[in-house]
Amino acid sequence: MKDLHLDQLISGFLDDTLSPQEKVEFESLMMRSEAARARFWELAEVHGLMSQAMVNLSVDDRGDWKVETRSTGLSTTDTSLWREASSLYRRRKSGVALVGGVLLGVLFSVFSLPVRGMPQQPKLTPLTAESFETGIAPAVVGIPTTVDNWSGDFTNVVASRDGLTPVDGDKMLQILRADYQGKPEPDGSYCGDLYRLIDVRSLAKQVATGDTVVRASAMFNMTAQPQHENFRHNVSIMAVTSDLIANENLFDAATIVEYSLASASRQSLRLDNDPQTWELSECELRLPPETEYVMVYVAISYGHSKNDLRRITFPGHFIDDIRVSLADYSH
């Protein structure tokens, strides 16, 4: 039976809404109860934060949380890791503090001992890594129907330009337009889309456990743009079946999310206007056991507000270092 009060304390901690008294109670529970610590990580995973907490988190000598990204030029100290519901580009402070890092060590200790019903450090299976070093641009046919091919709107593979350098290797993908060849009614399009369909049927035994999480990440950047223009980035994952792919009426960019087995998405509020900084966006989805394919969606778009300026073309917007992997939490 679930302890609703404990869940409320954990959710409050993750959202940084606990009162000082509740923070004391939360820390006390975490220090003395293994079951409470296990429940903490279960809810942290629901928040889409487990991988970031385990891989990207450390405590520096000042007692601050430090988020270390894998890419050059991306390192930030941030006390609000648990509140990161979209991408790591947000720089927000919170009042959460753990004296001497003791509670942090106690929380991580749950992974050093077998805890019933609790996933251990996962086994990772890389599915794809793309930095566009081949120089081959994705297909321009919208959503793909064949596996292991990038496809979407008009793009071009380019080298460094306008003071903007690829984050990985010598090349990066430039988003050119928000439409593709033969797109019906392209007028009004303002999202530059990129898709990849990945076949996971060879991993059916692993996926069938229900303990498999697919992770997708990508880096985003743009040249300096007018301050009044708003741009966003997006990384999404969809779990789909062969039947959906075979249905021409349903396997469409406008309906795939609705008819997928499950989906997850991470959208930024705004792409920053500094070409010297690449922004990381990450997304995770626990795959239903029936999953046969994974569709990964990466995009840059104009703002979604009705007052935002929108065009079908993009003046200087880039994607690089896309990575997709499976994390197996079964044990």
Q: Could you tell me the pTM of the whole model?
A: 0.66
Integer Cα distance of 1 and 277 in angstroms: 46
Query: Sign of torsion, CA 125 131 134 135?
Result: positive
pLDDT digits (tens, 9 = 90+) for 265-279: 988 878 888 999 999
Q: Helix, strand or coil for residue 269?
A: coil
Could you list the beta-strand ranges (E) of 202-261: 212-222, 231-240
Integer Cα distance of 150 and 266 in angstroms: 20
Q: What is the DSSP string of 140-198?
A: SSSS-SSTT-EEES-EEEE--BTTB--SSSS-EEEEEES--TT-SS-TT--EEEEEEEE
User: Of the ranges 15-19, 25-29, 217-221, 250-254, which is most confident?
Assistant: 217-221
141: amino acid identity, one letter: V
CB–CB of 293/147 below 8 Å?
yes
Whether residue 56 has pLDDT greater than 60: no
User: Quick one: average pLDDT of 33-56?
Assistant: 61
pLDDT digits (tens, 9 = 90+) for 212-222: 999 999 999 99
Q: Helix, strand or coil for residue 56?
A: coil
Q: How many CB atoms lie within 10 A of CB 96?
A: 17
Which domains are present in the chain? 4-109 (no CATH), 123-328 (2.60.120.260)
Token duo for residue 200: 């996971």
Burial of 185 (0-12, 13-18, 19+ CB in 10 A): exposed
What's the confidence (pLDDT) of residue 187?
Answer: 87
pLDDT digits (tens, 9 = 90+) for 281-311: 999 999 999 999 999 999 999 987 778 888 9
pLDDT digits (tens, 9 = 90+) for 134-154: 999 999 999 998 999 999 999
pLDDT digits (tens, 9 = 90+) for 150-168: 999 999 999 999 889 999 8
